[in-house]
C-alpha cells in the first residue's frame, strides 16, 4: 500500500501549483484541465483512503481531549470543542487565501509585509505564496471534516 501522508501532501501541493498556474495564465484551457485533474485526483485519493483520515482525526481528537486545569474556566463543564468544530473556520480561511491569490493575480498592490516577496519573485511569487497557504489551510479543514465524518462518507 502506498504511504498515505506523503502522497496526500504532494497532491495538495500539486493542487496549489495548479491554482497558481491557472491564475497566472488567466485560466487558459490547459491550466483549467490541470486544476480539474488535480481536484479530482485529490478527491479520489481522499475517498479511497477514508480509513486513514479517520485514524488521523481520532488521534488529533484524543490529543485535544486532554483536560487541563483551566479548561473548566474557559469552556465550562463538558463543553470543550472538538477539532471538527474548527473545520469550517479552516475552510473559510483557505478560501480567503484563494481569493487573496486571485486578487494579487488581477493586479492588487501588495502590503508592506509582502513587498519583499513581490520584489524578489514578482506577481507569480505572491500568487504562489497565497495559493499554497490557502491550499494548506483548506486541506486541514477538508481532512478534518472527512475524518470526523468517518466511514459513512455519503450517508450519516
The arithmetic mean of pLDDT across residues 81-95, rounded, is 89
State the CB neighbour count (10 A cutoff) for residue 142: 20
Q: What pLDDT is attached to residue 150?
A: 66
Instruction: Assess whether pLDDT exceeds 80 at residue 5.
Output: yes
Binned at pLDDT 50, 70 and 90, residue 151 comes out as low
Are the CB atoms for 118 and 110 separated by under 8 Å?
Answer: yes
Binned at pLDDT 50, 70 and 90, residue 28 comes out as very high
Amino acid at each position: 500500500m502506498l504511504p498515505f501522508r506523503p502522497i496526500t501532501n504532494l497532491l495538495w501541493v500539486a493542487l496549489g501549483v495548479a491554482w497558481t498556474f491557472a491564475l497566472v495564465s488567466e485560466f487558459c484551457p490547459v491550466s483549467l484541465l490541470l486544476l480539474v485533474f488535480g481536484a479530482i485526483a485529490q478527491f479520489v485519493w481522499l475517498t479511497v483512503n477514508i480509513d486513514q483520515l479517520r485514524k488521523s482525526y481520532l488521534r488529533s481528537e484524543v490529543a485535544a481531549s486532554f483536560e487541563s486545569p483551566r479548561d473548566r474556566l474557559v469552556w465550562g463543564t463538558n463543553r470543550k470543542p472538538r477539532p471538527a468544530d474548527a473545520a469550517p473556520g479552516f475552510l473559510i480561511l483557505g478560501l480567503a487565501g484563494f481569493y487573496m491569490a486571485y486578487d494579487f493575480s488581477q493586479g492588487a498592490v501588495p502590503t508592506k509585509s509582502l513587498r519583499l516577496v513581490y520584489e524578489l519573485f514578482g506577481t507569480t511569487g505572491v500568487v504562489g505564496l497565497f495559493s499554497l497557504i490557502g491550499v494548506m489551510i483548506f486541506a486541514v479543514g477538508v481532512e478534518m471534516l472527512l475524518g470526523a465524518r468517518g466511514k459513512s462518507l455519503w450517508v450519516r
